[in-house]
């Protein structure tokens, strides 16, 4: 069997990797559907969300949901549709039932009657915690490409 990760990197099981990819697909689709509160429920109760281009850290589901709701409502007011795509997901175990992931995320934006365009390209780093058969985000840090972080 050929190993695809660097030799010094531990990898998660194939089943866990598939579940993580499915988790991210659900997260992206919830976000794109404007379901900020449900999306935030996929963070741990004390989970954090931060970006290199905005000061401060959102902490806890209510704070994370409120921040995302504000952004989603602003998009809706402008009639914009956004689509998130997550890819190149690397996942490594850091302790039992805890995984660190690093992935790329791109966001496309389409105005009413207009053409889609690339809005944003980022790198995301998460710490995920197993929750029964699924996952919750313990922490997420987003770095926007083209910035000084």
How is the chain split into domains, by residue range? 14-144
| Predicted pLDDT at 89 | 97
Rounded percentage of the chain residues whose pLDDT exceeds 90? 89
Does this model's pTM top 0.85?
Answer: yes
Burial-class residue 40 by CB neighbours within 10 Å (0-12, 13-18, 19+).
buried
Q: List, for residues 60-115, the tens digit of each pLDDT value.
A: 999 999 999 999 999 999 999 999 999 999 999 999 999 999 999 999 999 999 99
- Please state which CATH class domain 14-144 belongs to: alpha beta
Q: What is the mean pLDDT of the chain?
A: 93
Q: Which two tokens stand for residue 72?
A: 């989603």
pLDDT at 1 > cutoff 50 = no
């Amino acid at each position: 069997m050929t190993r695809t990760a660097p030799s010094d990197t531990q990898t998660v099981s194939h089943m866990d990797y598939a579940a993580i990819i499915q988790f991210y697909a659900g997260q992206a689709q919830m976000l794109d559907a404007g379901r900020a509160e449900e999306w935030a429920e996929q963070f741990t109760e004390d989970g954090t969300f931060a970006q290199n281009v905005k000061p401060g850290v959102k902490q806890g589901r209510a704070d994370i949901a409120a921040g995302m709701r504000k952004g989603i409502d602003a998009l809706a007011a402008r009639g914009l549709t956004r689509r998130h795509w997550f890819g190149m997901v690397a996942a490594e175990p850091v302790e039992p039932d805890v995984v660190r992931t690093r992935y790329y995320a791109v966001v496309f934006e389409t105005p009413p009657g207009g053409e889609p365009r690339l809005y944003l390209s980022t790198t995301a780093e998460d710490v995920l915690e197993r929750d029964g058969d699924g996952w919750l985000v313990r922490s997420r840090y987003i770095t926007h490409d083209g910035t000084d972080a």
